[in-house]
Amino acid sequence: MAGILDGVDQRTKLAGRNRLELLLFRLAGRQRFGINVFKVQEVIQCPPLTQLPGSHPVVRGIANMRGKTITVMDLSQAIGGPPLANIEGRFVIITEYNRRVQGFLVGSVDRIVNMNWGDILPPPKGAAKGSYMTAVTRVDEELVEIIDVEKVLSEIVTVSEDVSEGVIEEEAIDETQHVLIADDSSVARNQVKRVLDKLGVMTTVCNDGKQALDQLKAWTNEGRRVSDFLSLVISDVEMPVMDGYTLTTEIRKDPALANLQVILHTSLSGVFNQSMIEKVGANSFLAKFEPDELARVVQTRLKQHKLELKALSS
């Protein structure tokens, strides 16, 4: 796998063009799966693992890499498949999600493919409710499943989803304010919505950037001035059909929507996103998922929006 992740600078240029690159791999069978290259730090042959007594059954052990301890999880087992056997001949995909670095044990690694987000589709409507698919696509006439890694991690790693006492400011709560959420992960959508519910704001939830843009345009077509009631758009970056960068670009191109506040809320690299938010015109970038930080950022925006509306009416 040496060199599989070379050329990251070149791949960065894909962002903002509704494109991505997928690392394809297999688990215990012939089914192909995919993961966004920007979430992958490294692909290695499975190193010796030290088992941890009492750990989650999906955790196969820990590995020491360059002085850092990495937890290695069996991705096949994590999504309901059989545990991977003969792990010495398997591979570990080192990833960074939601500010944490972890390794996923996989059966084999195929290659990287360049895709358009428009070719990444939501799971079929008949997919089981508890499915770990966040999207699907086709490569070489074969179905590729893109795994909802945030859902996987939420079931293995304990993370607080509650807003700490004292963070919510009573004066910031306003049931007349409205926030639009766009995220393809059901886990991520629910995490954000729970925080906003505690702030008392109304929410509209969309599964991808195209749905979000269609909703914004529907409000406009109804003759409504969207900026009068919509305080904020919180969008993931990685979404099927239309990614968050393209959604932001489309919002800025539409005179009726151009002044909306947009936060990109994603698990991708902070350095990478900081440069991209400037390119596409988002207002800020927020790394997933810290409920207190999200609550503070949203409250600041709600208070700012109140002042803007007051100034317009005076």
Question: Band of the pLDDT at 214, cuts 50, 70, 90?
Answer: very high
Q: Provide the pLDDT for residue 127.
A: 64
DSSP H or E segment with residue 29? none
- Statement: residue 277 has pLDDT above 80: no
Which amino acid, residue 98? N
Nearest to 38 by CA among 92, 122, 95: 95
Question: Band of the pLDDT at 8, cuts 50, 70, 90?
Answer: very low
Lowest-pLDDT range of 2-16, 83-97, 200-214, 266-280: 2-16
Mean pLDDT estimate for the chain: 87
Q: Provide the pLDDT for residue 2.
A: 45
Q: Which of 156, 186, 212 is the last residue of a domain?
A: 156
On whether both 232 and 101 belong to a single domain, the answer is no
State if pTM tops 0.85.
no
- DSSP structural state of residue 174: -
69 domain-assigned: yes
4 domain-assigned: no
5 domain-assigned: no
On whether both 200 and 309 belong to a single domain, the answer is yes
Q: How many CA atoms lie within 13 A of 174 on its CB side?
A: 19
In order of 4, 24, 32, the CA distances from 140 in angstroms are 20, 12, 11
Q: Which residues, including other chains, have CB under 8 Å from residue 110's CB and lie 6 or more apart? A: 24, 25, 26, 32
6 domain-assigned: no
22 domain-assigned: yes
- Rounded Cα–Cα distance for residues 42 and 162 (Å): 32
198 domain-assigned: yes
On whether both 184 and 284 belong to a single domain, the answer is yes
Backbone φ, ψ for residue 102 (5° rounding): -150, 165
164 domain-assigned: no
Q: Per the structure, how many domains does the chain have?
A: 2
On whether both 97 and 20 belong to a single domain, the answer is yes
On whether both 24 and 66 belong to a single domain, the answer is yes
Number of H helices, E strands in the chain: 9, 15
Query: How many other C-beta atoms lie within 10 A of the C-beta of residue 205?
Result: 18
Q: Provide the pLDDT for residue 7.
A: 46
- Statement: residue 134 has pLDDT above 50: yes
Cβ atoms 309, 227 nearer than 8 A? no
* Cα 44–chain centre separation: 24
- Rounded Cα–Cα distance for residues 232 and 229 (Å): 9
On whether both 133 and 80 belong to a single domain, the answer is yes
Q: Provide the pLDDT for residue 9.
A: 43
On whether both 118 and 212 belong to a single domain, the answer is no
Q: Which of 129, 156, 183 is the last residue of a domain?
A: 156
On whether both 209 and 289 belong to a single domain, the answer is yes
Q: What is the CATH number of the domain that holds 59?
A: 2.40.50.180
Q: What is the CATH number of the domain that holds 190?
A: 3.40.50.2300
The residues that bridge with 115 in the sheet, in sequence order, are 20
On whether both 132 and 264 belong to a single domain, the answer is no
162 domain-assigned: no
In order of 113, 283, 285, 309, 310, the CA distances from 314 in angstroms are 55, 26, 32, 9, 6
As a residue count, the chain comes to 314
- Statement: residue 13 has pLDDT above 80: no
On whether both 296 and 183 belong to a single domain, the answer is yes
Taking the alpha carbons at both ends of the chain, their separation in whole angstroms is 63
- Rounded Cα–Cα distance for residues 14 and 92 (Å): 25
Q: In what order do the strands lie in the sheet with 108-116?
A: 108-116, 19-26, 32-36, 142-147, 133-139
On whether both 225 and 102 belong to a single domain, the answer is no
On whether both 100 and 234 belong to a single domain, the answer is no
Bond prior to 25 in cis (omega within 30° of 0): no
Backbone φ, ψ for residue 84 (5° rounding): -75, 130
Domain with 215 in it:
170-313
